Structure 1
Amino acid sequence: MEGFDLTQPRFKAYILPNAPLEKLAEGFRWTEGPVWFGDRDELLFSDLPNNRVMRWSDSAGLSVYRAASDFENGHARDRQGRLLSCSHRGRRIHRTELDGSITSLVERYRGRRLNSPNDIVCKSDGTIWFSDPPYGIQTDYEGGKQDSELPAAVYRFDPRDGSLRVVADDFQGPNGLCFSPDERRLYIVETGLQFDTDPLQHVRVFDVGEDGGLSGGAVFCTIAPGNADGVRCDEHGNLWSSAGDGVHCIDPGGELVGKIRVPATVANLTFGGRNNSRLFLCASQALYAIYVNVRGAPLL
């Protein structure tokens, strides 16, 4: 069922009654990892179990950006406009250079292979932050069964000197992550153990230190129905989270402000389009979008 839930009256200022939820494309197995390329006016996203990355634009429609993608999941852009990707099968973070070639950035920590990097963000100082749960190596559907060599963790990689450090290791299954607009907070989604009958699932918030370390880590909110997966902040610091019934908007204090109902489970989302005010939704087997009256958090 489509529509809006105004949990708080102020959510009305963020939605546009004459801007409908639009289904842009369908026929995928499971969509993930949307990233907007404003200079090319196009969206890239993963059709994860089909092992490909798709491209969509208003002008050209849908096409395959990369087939045999090594089961890429999450994506981001770095400060030079290059695509950063999380490979499940390759168990690494790699970068697509401006000439189309691919550079492997991170594959191991202290000599051991990563699990299956899942989601990724790039901070204004150029550092790359990513989650590394074992989900992609626990099934043949999203990467291929392999043995885990490291506990689940969240990492910070600095491409300037090649340093890699664990910034959070008290997660069962770290997933989506995003910075607040001022980068003083980092939100990290906990989706728990994949095959647990009652997995630990919530969103935590950390304070980001000047040295790149994290402190705090209290539970920020819990999403229901379903659970959080991908998250993004808007210009006011509200957190927009995927959910079982669509998209939830949570204010910086952790209070639910409102919902956009979507007729499919939303796995991930990102802001893009004109003025960065179009919300793109990777929702199960389809790609949706809706214009909202708020802009995504700008890059610093």
Structure 2
Amino acid sequence: MTDIKSLFEQLTTKLQQLEKLLATTQPVQALVSRIPAVLKGQEQAIINQIMPELVTDMLAMKLAAEAFKDIHIKHPFSQKSARRYVGMIHLHPEHQNSAKIISTIEQINTIKGAIEHAVVSENESRQARFSAIHDNCPGVMTVHLYRKIHCLENEYVKSVRFSWQRKDSLHQPDKIKLLGEITAEQERATPDNQLALIQLHQQIATTAEHQLRVRRPVKVQPAANIVKVTGLKTVTAPLPIIVVQKEPLETHAVADFIASHMRKQRSDKRKNVILGTFSGKTIEKTMA
């Protein structure tokens, strides 16, 4: 068995080393925004707006170090919603600390990957994985522990711009299983709720499985649109991105998120018919 506790101790040491390096490194440019954290019990609250808190230059370096070290549960914040720090730090490769920062980040990402692989591959059940993490990494927040630091070295980045991704999770369900779940819920439901479940069951039963879709809303996420000479790449951005290169690059801070400012749907997007809702998810029928 992998010694997860030892790996976690190594990770803690490396994160402390990275914090010291960032504190003594003057960036070419740096901007990092703290996204207000979700309070415990507010995970399902509707998000109408998000107002990021921006800092720049050496304050941004300090906040980035805080972001990378932020791997533990914190009161009074949610354990189910990740705390996020969105931004970009541009370092010159000839700065005396740049090579050390790159090397330390590589080691941090390697250790994080080793912990995740050990937990997943050596523990079959969800409970066993939970115990493996919390017995060896006390007080850790798993989603924070696993997330990697993006470090781009001499990749000729032209710009890093941030946006808000607002996508739904859409998948094709197992029709028989879905009908069974609705039947079970129908048996438990009050008379007032049974009719809607009966109607939904009938509509699903008469729809071909390949036409069925289950749509689940996914919370808005910050994303980085990274333009290199080789093209555009979009990645989720819960942590600051480090760019090490001589060439200048364009960037700007993540904007406020306003839920009412929704992007218009493409006119050629395939239309779906909503059959109903079940367990907080929307059941749809795709149209040819």
Structure number with higher relative contact order (C-alpha < 8 Å, ≥ 6 residues apart): 2
Fold equivalence (TM over 0.5):
no
TM-score tier by shorter-chain length is under 0.3
Question: Where is the strand percentage greater, Structure 1 or Structure 2?
Answer: 1
Question: Where is the helix percentage greater, Structure 1 or Structure 2?
Answer: 2
Q: Which has the larger radius of gyration?
A: 2
Give the structure-2-normalised TM-score. 0.27
